[in-house]
Amino acid sequence: MPFMATAQDTERAPFRFFLALGLVFLAALLTRLYGIHRESLSFDAFTSVVHLRPPRSIEASPHYDRWRAATGAEACDSMWEYLRRNRFLDPASMPAYYSLAYFFNRHVSQSMLALRLFSVGMGMAVIFLVYQCGREMFGRRAGLIAAACAALSPMHWYYSREIRVYGFLAMAAMAHCYTFQRVARGGGKRWWTAHGIVTLLLVWTHPFAVLIPIVEALFLAGTHWRDRRLLWRWGVLQAALALPALAYVVSINFWSPAATPWMVTPSLRHFLGDLLADDILGVSFQLRPDAAAWARIVPEAAAHRLVGWHGRIGWAMLALTLAGVLWAAATAAWRRIAAKGAPETWRWTVFLLLWWLLPPLLLYAASHLWRPCIWPRYTLYASFGLYLLLGAALARLPGRLVRCAAVTTLLALYAYQQMLVLDAAQDRDWRAAARHISAHGTPDDFIVYQDWLFHRGFLYEMGPAPQVSAYAKTIEGLAELTAFVVGLKMKGPDDPRSAWALMEVGATPVGPDVLESRWLAAGLSFSVREFGGLPPLRVYQVRRGGAAPHLSSQDALPEDIFKDYTDLAMAFWWAGDMPAAEAAARRALDFRNDYGRAWLYLGLALVEQKQHGAHKALLKATAPPHDDFNAMEFALLSRGLLRTGDPEQASAMAASAVISDPNHPAGYYATAAIEQAQGNDEGKHAALAMARRKDPKARRMNPEVILRPTFFMKDGKDSKDHKDSKDNKDINDNRM
């Protein structure tokens, strides 16, 4: 029986109550499913899936190998390897959710949509748990109102569709809340066991999930201090289960503040928006309002007017929300003071106030005293305390008419906030941008992204495609690379091929005007389309004018533009466009003549074209320093030197590949190629065995990249004499 049982709560619920509850769940389900197939990955979601198995349609693409190399996609063969790689991408990641995601991907479905539906299922469980908590604390009417708030919440709608840890965090938090109140009320072994299991899941879900047991500990210390047995049992259970996770969190080597410039201590206004108004757009700044959903049911002009009111409506909603919380606290305090037999009502009101406010306050204090460590999603579960308080407040209003009016007003405000985000992209809309390029581009087009890191996420969302792609580190570099590529690609003014440049608006101090003015100065023409999201994404289709583009001088470009050009040469080399790779590498060397990676790709391009100077260029690449080389590039350098008749230097570079990354198979494959060229079958097979040990299913690389030119080709032509040899079998066994 709930603590604040009314006559209605002690009787069987009428049919209309179950109908209302069913409508709440239906609204939650429909809003979470609406348009889910159009959702684009966020970058955090990309890091969650990049080491899972992609859908089979992606693996079957002829462009799969190049897509995998560009995105860094590498399906892990074990859960432990997946968890280790996730920790490399994000040191703060915890294993609970990611273990489930790995299991789901391996044994249920490899589809990204299926993973989103997995999150929807967790979101629906959250609605049920909110209702159950409200019913047990304040009665079924309060539980229904709280569940309706959670169902229409824009924030929980968003995280219920994401392939990220936060939907699971919300579910684990509410399960912990529900089982906690059960054990606090004297629940038996079944509830203590359930609470222990949920605690174990919770503390291994997120580093800051430990704030929830802290809230509960303060609550018990302040309200149940006389119940020594409860305090002792609960404290020992939490310590036994949470301390190992806490020790793990303390051991995390977080990225330095310099490496995470997006993590800043928020202003007081932004913090209060997070603390008090997660779901109120215009007060909170987490989601982007849009007129798209409103425009489906009212004329477009009216839709934009409705969206234009979101600031004033938001502040009014905040005022009414705070009034509801004050009413819940005041009525609970009055009942306690008047000694009307409802001490539990006051206790759980205090508990919910702590649940709602304390976790963000603790992270805000830590951000000032230690380092910036607060982000609204880290305490996503805190808003459930607000929903339950609002449910309690409205359930206590006197008079049916007053209650109906208040509930209707509250739900209308939440529905308005939901409509502001329902049909709008909230992250970089990579999916829409990729479809736009696929629909209007050609296979010979070129794609260049503004940012080197988010470039990977965009390509993952786009999937394997024939277009060559690269990235730039600055807006000036984006303009320069685009002009250079358009000049290479275009054969004449009537040639339809073009370059696609993607820019995140507001992500850098330099705006689109600088990019566009540079293109105009270079003699280029362009068209643009902007896709919504945070930040908005501009997609430019850039074409050549009547003459060759004018490239910028070194003074007008960033100092490290040679690295952008070298990465461009690498992209062309992997795509098999050797003349373009050669041209990009030579352009890089115009800016810095001693850059080893530029000499590497110049030499490799010359090797493939059978041009003079290949060996000389590769020897230039062997000169230190090799700070920017990875194991694959050392192996490719070894491959090129072997093909140009220099096995001694090739062997040295293969050894450098192994030293650079002993766990990467490339160095061992390069060693196998050298041993084969020298007629040492025993050494070759030993190196191949080591390569397979490091990469059993050839998921990290295609061995043919290193082996084929040495094992199968003589003077650039297939050697028929070797096609049926055991060496052929050695390679086929490792093929992707």
User: Who's near 501: CB < 8 A, 6+ residues apart?
Assistant: 448, 449, 450, 478, 482, 515, 526, 539, 540, 542
Residue 3's pLDDT band, with cuts at 50, 70 and 90, is very low
| pLDDT tens for each residue of 551-566 | 988 888 999 999 999 9
Asked whether the beta carbons of 151 and 126 are under 8 A apart, the reply is no
CB 147 within 8 A of CB 24: yes
Whether the pLDDT of residue 516 is over 80: the answer is: yes
Cα–Cα distance measured from residue 89 to residue 255, given in angstroms and rounded to the nearest whole number: 10
Q: The whole model's pTM is what?
A: 0.88
pLDDT tens per residue, range 682-725: 988 999 899 888 877 666 666 666 555 433 223 333 333 333 33
Question: Helices (DSSP H) in 370-474: which residue ranges?
Answer: 383-395, 400-421, 430-440, 454-462
Report d(CA 479, CA 586) in Å as an integer.
Answer: 18
pLDDT of residue 708: 53
d(CA 8, CA 18) in angstroms, rounded, equals 13
- Residue 507: pLDDT band (50, 70, 90) is confident
- Identify the bridge partners of residue 544 per DSSP, sorted by sequence position: 524
pLDDT-based confidence at 546, cuts 50/70/90? Answer: confident
Average pLDDT of span 298-321: 94
Element housing 501 (H / E): strand 499-504
Per-residue pLDDT reduced to its tens digit, 181-227: 999 998 899 999 999 999 999 999 999 999 999 999 999 999 888 88
Buried b (16+ CB within 10 A) or exposed e, 653-671: bbbbbbebbeebbbbbbbb
The encoded tokens of residue 466 equal 């024939």
DSSP annotation of 496 reads -
Rounded-to-integer distance, Cα 343 and Cα 185, Å: 13
Give residue 138's pLDDT band: very low, low, confident or very high (50, 70, 90): very high
Question: For 383-441, how does the pLDDT look when each residue is reduced to its tens digit (9 = 90+)?
Answer: 999 999 999 999 999 989 999 999 999 999 999 999 999 988 899 999 999 999 999 99
pLDDT tens, residue by residue, 427-468? 999 999 999 999 999 898 999 998 888 999 999 999 999 999
CA 422 – CA 196 distance, rounded (Å): 37
Residue 355: count other Cβ atoms within 10 Å of its Cβ: 26
pLDDT in tens, 274-296: 899 999 998 988 899 999 999 99
